[in-house]
Structure 1
Amino acid sequence: MMDTLNNKPEISNVVIKYHLTRFPFKLAELSEYFPSIDYRPKRFSGAILKFETACLLIFNYGKINVVGAKSIECADSTIAAFCMKLNLPIEFHNRQIVNMVGTSNFKRKINLDKLSREKPRMFEYYPELFPAAYYRKEKSKCLLFHTGKMIITGCKTYKDIESLNNEVRLCLLLYGYL
């Protein structure tokens, strides 16, 4: 029971948008510095560069999206490695968090059919479309699976993820599902 009460969400993905103001390169030129870069302008307008820690989607004029990072620090270090390789100044003042995804585990099976029938305004569940119940709050969304695992998406901070996790946990405790 204590595990269920104290579950802490973990960040599984961070998407951050950067804008490097001094970016003198054309995307086609980046292959000289990064042989593994994938740039096919007929397929996608940006270049894709994969690092061990994250993936960069590089667009013209220095706009870069970092996806797949496990933390903001990880995204920053990936951008720093990219800038150092190109001898560019490292800039973090033009950083915008687009999305953070967290995961949580209540370590209990949850009857989603019953939950969605009893609390239809809180939880939407369409098993023929997707195996998770939806819990929405403003721009964020939780996907609650029958295994007790939950994915939280659409947040901008870890505090938002934690708050949403606690809200769902409290709701499930209050109505006897945990």
Structure 2
Amino acid sequence: MSYKIVNLVASTDLGLEIDLHQVAEKLRNSEYEPEQFPGAILKLTQPKATILVFKNGKIVIVGCKTKKDIESAIKLAYDQLKKVSTKIRKRMKKIPYQITNIVALADLKTDLNLFEIVEELEANVEYEPEQFPGTILKLDKPKVTVLVFKNGKLIIAGSKSEEEVKEAIKKVKKLLKPFIRK
């Protein structure tokens, strides 16, 4: 079954303290409201990404769909932050980062009876139709959460690699096989 990555979350560390008031003052594409959120928010348009910059130098990148976009977003943020702090080293060829979450979509291409699934699977499955239209299926290995909807659509969240996404889809397909009507 095919899947589509819709969001990658990654993090990196500048290894130094950042003055977030300066970030907001010097960078047009940023905002910093400490009463609302403890980090400065940089909005990038190319690639489309949101960069969260924290005082301790940690950076979180959200909204990218590819590793290439993450790398571009990090380089852009790095270059912009050099305007704020002279302590930031000269541009490195490759800035190390870690993917912390992948969100992917998949489709079983069939309708499912979610009540039946919850009744049969019990463990690690939540379904509160008054609060949310899908079941929440928590897998242990890989440690991901899969949202399963009546129309057979899946949202896989929490994986750290594409291999984990594939493994989760395979596992969910196997778990749901008895509930798939052909």
TM-score band, normalised by the shorter chain? 0.7 to 0.9
Partners of 1:44 and 1:123 in 2: how far apart? 32
Query: What's the TM-score, normalizing by structure 2?
Result: 0.82
Instruction: State how 1:7-86 maps to structure 2 within 5 Å.
Output: 7-21=1-15, 25-31=18-24, 33-52=26-45, 53-86=48-81
1:13 Cα deviation after fit: 1.0
Tell me how far 1:122 sits from its aligned partner.
5.7
SS of match in other structure, 1:51: strand
Identical counterparts, % of pairs: 30
Aligned length: 169
Pairwise CA distance, 1:124? 3.1
Residue pair 1:99, 1:153 contacting (<8 A) in 2 also: yes
Cα deviation for residue 24 of structure 1 reads 7.0
Shift of 1:154: 1.1
Counterpart among 85, 92, 101 of residue 95 in structure 2: 92
Q: Is the 8 A contact 1:33 1:86 kept in 2?
A: no
2:174 corresponding residue in structure 1 = 170
2:85 equivalent in structure 1: none
User: Does structure 2 conserve the Cα–Cα contact (< 8 Å) formed by 1:33 and 1:85?
Assistant: no
Gaps of at least 5 residues in structure 1 are 1-6
Whole-Å separation in 1 of the counterparts to 2:169 and 2:103: 12
Distance 2:121 2:81 in 1: 54
Q: Distance in 2 between matches of 1:141 and 1:168?
A: 10
CA contact (8 A) 1:58 1:64 kept: yes
For residue 141 of structure 1, what is the amino acid of its counterpart? T
Q: Separation in 2 of the partners of 1:176 and 1:44?
A: 43
Q: How does 1:134-153 map to 2 (within 5 A)?
A: 134-138=136-140, 139-153=143-157
What SS does the aligned partner of 2:7 have? strand
| TM-score calculated relative to the size of structure 1 | 0.84
- 1:85 & 1:41 partners in 2: Cα distance? 20
Segments of 5+ residues of structure 2 without an aligned counterpart are: 83-89
Any runs of at least 4 consecutive aligned residues in structure 1 with deviations exceeding 6 A, and if so which?
none
- Displacement of 1:161 in angstroms is 0.8
* Aligned partners of 2:124 and 2:137 also within 8 Å: yes
**For residue 4 of structure 1, what is the aligned residue in structure 2?**
none
CA contact (8 A) 1:106 1:148 kept: yes
1:80-104 Cα deviation digits (max 9, x unpaired): 11223445524522x2222111111
The letter for the 1-side match of 2:144 is S
Question: 1:102 maps to what in 2?
Answer: 104
